Amino acid sequence: MKKWLLLLMLASPTVARAELVTPAFTSGSMQSTTTTTQEITETIETEVFGGAYSRWSGENILHTSTSSGGIVDTDSVFTVHTAGDPFTLEITTRAAGVVETIDIDRTIETSATTTSLSVFSQ
């Protein structure tokens, strides 16, 4: 008998009712301030590569060579064209490889502040 009574109680519908809640405040406000900071540290390393380079320039100068290798060959000969006249000679050579290295170290710091205000009433 107790089993039937329990089963009948569980199977019968029940109604759930919500109670009305009245807030205890009439108005108010809330303010929030958030501050964020960020620090970025970066290093930029750059290597500039170049090819082999050989050049000569001058005045009153002649260049002779028996090979086709240019001024860097051991058989390259520079002679004064007109003896007794002034002359200039400039020879520039560079091997292939790293021509320039650039290193940049920097730190970026940022800061942001956000303030919000909420006003409410009923």
The token duo for 82 is: 């007109």
pLDDT at 8: 66
Torsion of CA 46, 52, 57, 63, to 10 degrees: 170
Number of domains in the chain: 1
User: For residue 109, what are the domain limits?
Assistant: 28-121
Q: What is the mean pLDDT of residues 90-108?
A: 93
In a domain, 64, yes or no: yes
Provide the pLDDT confidence category of residue 24 given band limits of 50, 70 and 90.
Answer: confident
Model confidence pLDDT, tens digit, residues 52-69: 888 888 999 888 887 776
Model confidence pLDDT, tens digit, residues 66-84: 777 677 777 788 889 999 9
CB atoms within 10 A of CB 19: 4
Model confidence pLDDT, tens digit, residues 32-45: 999 999 999 999 99
In a domain, 57, yes or no: yes
29 burial class (0-12, 13-18, 19+ CB within 10 angstroms)?
exposed
CB 25 within 8 A of CB 110: no
In a domain, 72, yes or no: yes
